[in-house]
Amino acid sequence: MGTTQQDDRPSAAEQRRRELLDAADKVVLRDGPGASMNAIAAEAGITKPILYRHFGDKGGLYRALAVRHTDALLDALRAALDAPQERRERVEATLDTYLAAIEARPQVYRFLMHPAEDSPASERGFDVGQHSAPLLRRLGEELATVIAERVDLGPESEELARVWGHGIVGMMHAAGDWWLRERPCARAQLVRHLADLLWGRLAAAGDRVGRLRF
């Protein structure tokens, strides 16, 4: 008798959910934060009640999209951190990976991070901030794990890794959000400036000038 192999193909429900998320992605890429459940249902060729049946509400759909895009971003960040390069080059590659991701799909970024003032009245109770904060915390925790695994920080390594992980994510998010809105410089230039900050240039500048105060 031949041996049976495990079937790794997704179930019908998983495949359908993936198709609905693909449809949601298309609408988000087109409409950004204003993407509505009505538009997503129409793109998927179903009614809104069926969409609600799969995701519960817009918050459920948001969380599913956030997981999809955060997983992809984390994979890319880990690849940048693991590249066979000098540490400074890996830091710059990691920063550039994050900024390149939000630059390539700004509408997706805005949907995940910013509320939509033009959302339908039935969806205005959806609080993006309530969901984006956990997304950033997840990125911070994941980066902390990577730092702890790859950098010897001594006896306080776990605490330092978590502080640095959340601090770096906060910096990337705040700087990236500002840069995406205003485009004050090229992406490569922003990467260099942020890497300089992580590399201790702020402390060095304070020592040299002697007038840096916080």
Does residue 101 sit in the same domain as residue 144? yes
Task: Identify whether residues 47 and 81 lie together within a single domain.
Answer: no
178 and 100 in a single domain? The answer is yes
Q: Which residue has the tokens 């033009």?
A: 118
C-alpha–C-alpha distance, residues 139 and 169, integer Å: 7
Q: Is the same domain home to 86 and 151? A: yes
Pairwise CA distance, residues 117 & 121, whole Å: 10
Q: Are residues 41 and 96 in the same domain?
A: no
Is 121 a domain residue?
no
98 CB neighbour count, 10 Å cutoff: 22
Residue 26 lies in domain: 13-56
CA 167-68-38 angle, 5° bins: 115
CATH number at residue 43: 1.10.10
Mean pLDDT over each residue of the chain, to the nearest integer: 82
Shared domain check, 82 and 188:
yes
Residue 1 lies in a domain: no
* Overall pTM surpassing 0.85 (yes/no): no
Is pLDDT larger for residue 191 or for residue 114? 191
Report the C-alpha gap between 31 and 87 in whole angstroms. 39
Residue at 62 is within a domain: no
Q: 152 exposed, middle or buried (CB, 10 Å; 0-12, 13-18, 19+)? A: exposed
Query: What does the pLDDT look like over 197-210, one tens digit per residue?
Result: 988 865 665 444 44
109 plus 192 within the same structural domain: yes
Residue 97 located in a structural domain? yes
pLDDT tens figures, 71-111: 888 889 888 888 888 888 988 999 999 999 999 999 888 88
Number of compact structural domains in the chain: 2
30 or 5: whose pLDDT is higher? 30
How many Cβ atoms are within 10 Å of 195's Cβ, its own excluded? 18
Q: Is residue 50 domain-shared with residue 82, that is, in the same domain? A: no
Dist CA 98 CA 189 (whole Å): 14
